Amino acid sequence: MKAVNLMTLAVVILGGLNWGAVSWFGEDMVSALLGRSTLATRTVYLGVALAALYQLVPLWLSFRLGELDVQADRVPE
């Protein structure tokens, strides 16, 4: 499961960087590479969305297991 978690996290990060490029430069890198509104483009966007949904699982588990509280205790003051 760790490999899937790291892969989906990488996809979400790349998707966020793509949206940053859209915001900063007005350039959608996925559309530039794969064409606008093609099946390939929509598949990439769907993959990013599914990766983001998957990343909700580790986030929920970290809240449930109290990992965020543990991290907060380690922060130096």
Which domain covers residue 52, as residue numbers?
A: 2-74
The neighbour count for residue 15, using CB atoms within 10 Å, is 18
Q: How confident is the model at residue 67 (pLDDT cuts 50, 70, 90)?
A: low
Of 7, 20, 3, give the one whose Cα is nearest residue 50: 7
pTM of this prediction?
Answer: 0.76
**For 7-46, what is each residue's pLDDT tens digit?**
999 999 999 999 999 999 999 999 999 999 899 999 999 9
- Number of structural domains the chain divides into: 1
Residue 76: per-residue pLDDT: 55
